Structure 1
Amino acid sequence: MSLTSLAHLNDVPAGEWDALVPAGQPFLQHAFLSTLEESGSLGPLSGWRPHHLLWRENGRCLAAMPGYRKKNSSGEYVFDHGWAEACHRAGIQYYPKWLGAVPFSPVTGSRVLGAETASAKLLDALPDYLAEQGWSGAHVNFTDAKAGSLLSARPDWLHRLGCQYHWHNRGYRDFQDFMDALSSRKRKQMRKEREAVAAQGIDFSWLEGGLVSEAQWDFIYTCYANTYEVRGQSPYLTRDFFSLLAQRMPDAIRVVLASRQNRPVAMAFSLVSDDTFYGRYWGCLAEFDRLHFETCFYQGIEYAITHGLSRFDAGAQGEHKLIRGFEPVLTDSWHYLRHPGLRTAVAEFLNEERDAVRAWAEEARKALPYRQE
């Protein structure tokens, strides 16, 4: 029995890895994670170095955790920059650290893959492994119920709450049926936003990954990169990521193109599972009134209704999603910190933060547009 690590996901066969991944989780599939690596989206310059953990018995891989050696806190969406800064002031090493997560995607899912018994053994071996590596600790972001149960049973792991905004399909027949569930004032506001986009002569078309041409991927990447460049940042993903993923997971990819006078002006890139629509990346090459809301939210809601998907996960942050029907959803992450003083200080902070997050989520529900029964 042993805990081992992988610097390249391709060092384990895709079938062996995917056999541990629960159904309906495209972001954890070998094809998605290996594409991040092979496309050059991860590596020393990004601060993300693949360091996946495996638990093997008698040569068989029984449990795994997708993970990364981090030298910064970029692209995680569970913000610990303040912890790192406090460590720097106190002369405590915070980087490198180990992170169990999906790079650049704040999507909840399985983080401890495999049978529960083997998963527990992997987690029990992790503290000694971190000490051997000389890392400050481990962080596991956006966990599902299984990982939460395993980690909550280990008292040295600290629990952190977050809040996202997801849309839920309550059996709507079409977009108008969804609109009818809103209060009169919010329904009028939503209708005006959609009419404002249509009045600018913008229409929309949907493509699955296998039908997107390389020229269209060039446009999609230009839009994606532009959302970072306007903020003076470098994009996380490379151009090659999109083409490689389209080859490996074409059925999971959905792209909506916004066009004006037959020329594309904006896009939204998403993935789908059996029951969930995952909105990921958006970008535009020119500014149009209300185009962001239509492309990223209303088009996705309409797609989810048409195709019978039960949930629309539109990513992290964005209180503006509330008035468009996205409800507050609590998320979980877990943190193991080797330095006793740091662990104590962070534990006190998280106790207060959890209360504040719960209070915010409850308050945020008041902004939802739905009619009161």
Structure 2
Amino acid sequence: MNYRTHIVSSLSEIGRAAWDGLALAQPRPNPFLSYAFLDALHESGSAAIEAGWQPQFIALYDGAQLAAALPMYVKMHSYGEYVFDWAWADAYERNGLDYYPKLLSAIPFTPVTGPRLLAVDDAARAALIEVLVATQQATPVSSTHILYPPEEQAQLLAAAGYLLRSGVQFHWLNQGYKNFDEFLATLEHKKRKNIRAERRKVRDAGVTMRRVRGADAVDADWQLFNRCYRHTYAAHRSTPYLNLDFFQRIGRDMPDNILLVIAERDGQAIAASLVIHSAQVLYGRYWGELEHVPCLHFEAAYYQPLEFCIEQGIAVFEGGAQGEHKMARGFLPTRTWSAHWLAQPAFADAIERFLEREKGGIDDYIDELNDRNPFKR
């Protein structure tokens, strides 16, 4: 079948209805693929061209129908990606080569597995991969990187010549728990005791927790969350990727996917976390505090969302990037994937050897983590 190929610099060239009609109809989609989320990143300036994210989305049309698409950016840096290639960039530089610009298919600042090769069927997906390969070969870039695809899409990319890389995240699985205590009862005694002690410290500090669904959040809630978020970045001497305009946009345009957890003491808000969810999966995203209280981060970013998952029957809580400490709270290791193409054959060979060694280390690491399973044997 012949498809018309478009390379678009703005999602508006595709349109909300066409984009969501394709992206959200994929197997296991997530809210981060939605037009609302991506548009908020772009229009708020968080992932704008000026910030080093130049959209170059691939769109394939069958007549008037959007048959396939790939969210892709030209990148001039490696910030906000969570699959780290700084050492690769350094190796290029030391050999007098430019690593940037590069092509990147990802959801900016969002280390969440989800479809990248969006297509109405296998034929359209195969055509999309062909266009991707032709595009990267015709574009003066060092490399192409597809981050956090599902394993089946990673394997399709491997068949097209991409190198695969795996990583580890920690996910909590809802076993049909009736309440938080029933979940706790499945953990080893020490883990169960520690969680109860952490929650008690927060209560004894006089902190109360309030959950706000996206549809009920008012502008004052977003102003508060943004203050908490920016304050915590500043405390770590870092610059936040996101801004108030972004938070206000997702609050307005995708309220059914949002939960804010607000911590208060003596009638004053002192911390907040933001999670995003579908009916099946909850994603831990952002956190911030104006005042430090021991264990409050765990309460706001883990235990309150866990309770919400149990109450709502949400099957999975994806805790975000990294963090072995999540295992002590009932999260288990899960493999993630990325796919990489490098234009320089010598560097492709070297990185392929590196990835083979790294994969062995990741396999051993996952085995070690599974040996430390926090649940009762």
State if a TM-score over 0.5 links the two structures. Answer: yes
- Offset at residue 214 of structure 1 (A): 1.0
SS of equivalent residue, structure 2 residue 338 = strand
Quick one: which amino acid aligns to residue 128 of structure 1?
Answer: A
Aligned to 1:29: 34
In structure 2, C-alpha distance between the alignment counterparts of 1:55 and 1:229, rounded to whole Å: 43
Q: Aligned partners of 1:184, 1:317: CA distance in 2, in Å? A: 25
1:139 aligned to which of 105, 123, 145: 145
Say yes or no: does 1:295 pair with 2:300. yes
Q: Taking structure 1 as reference, are residues 140 and 29 closer, same or farther at Cα in structure 2, changes over 3 Å only?
A: same
Alignment match, 2:72? 67
Give the match's secondary structure for 2:45: coil
| In 2: Cα distance, 1:231 partner to 1:189 partner | 26
Aligned-partner SS, 1:55:
strand
User: Residues 196 and 289 of structure 1 are in contact (CA less than 8 Å); yes or no, is this contact kept in structure 2?
Assistant: yes
Question: In 1, are the aligned partners of 2:29 and 2:115 still within 8 Å (CA)?
Answer: no
Cα distance in 2 for residues equivalent to 1:227 and 1:97: 31
Residue 321 in structure 1 maps to residue 320 in structure 2: no
Q: Structure 1 residues 295-304 or 50-59, which shifts more?
A: 50-59
1:344 matches 2:349? yes
Indicate if the aligned counterparts of 1:141 and 1:333 stay in contact, CA closer than 8 A.
yes
Give the 5 Å matches for 1:146-161: 146-154=152-160, 156-161=161-166
Q: Is the 8 A contact 2:41 2:48 kept in 1?
A: no
Q: In the aligned structure 1, how far is the partner of 2:58 from the partner of 2:232?
A: 33
TM-score, normalising length: structure 1? 0.96
CA distance in 2, matches of 1:348, 1:226: 42
CA distance in 1 between counterparts of 2:65 and 2:172 reads 40
The total of aligned residue pairs comes to 371
| Shift of residue 59, structure 1, vs aligned partner | 4.4
Runs (5+) with no aligned partner, structure 2: none
Query: What displacement does 1:131 show?
Result: 2.9
Kindly provide the amino acid, as one letter, of the partner of residue 139 in structure 1.
H
Summarize the alignment of residues 26-175 of structure 1 with structure 2, pairs less than 5 Å apart.
Answer: 26-114=31-119, 115-154=121-160, 156-175=161-180
Q: What SS does the corresponding residue of 2:327 show, helix, strand or coil?
A: helix
Aligned counterparts of 1:116 and 1:358: Cα–Cα separation in 2: 30
C-alpha deviations, 1:258-315, integer Å up to 9, x for none?
1111211111101111111111000000110111111111111111111111100110
Task: Assess if the C-alpha contact under 8 Å between 1:24 and 1:273 holds in 2.
Answer: no
Task: Describe the SS at the equivalent of 1:19.
Answer: helix
RMSD: 1.3
* Contact 1:24 1:274 (C-alpha < 8 Å) held by counterparts: no
Q: If the length of structure 2 is used for normalisation, what is the TM-score?
A: 0.95
Q: Deviations over 1:227-250 (max 9, x none)?
A: 322222221112101111111101
Superposition misfits of 4+ residues, deviation over 6 angstroms: none
Distance 1:259 1:337 in 2: 50
- 1:211 deviates by 1.3
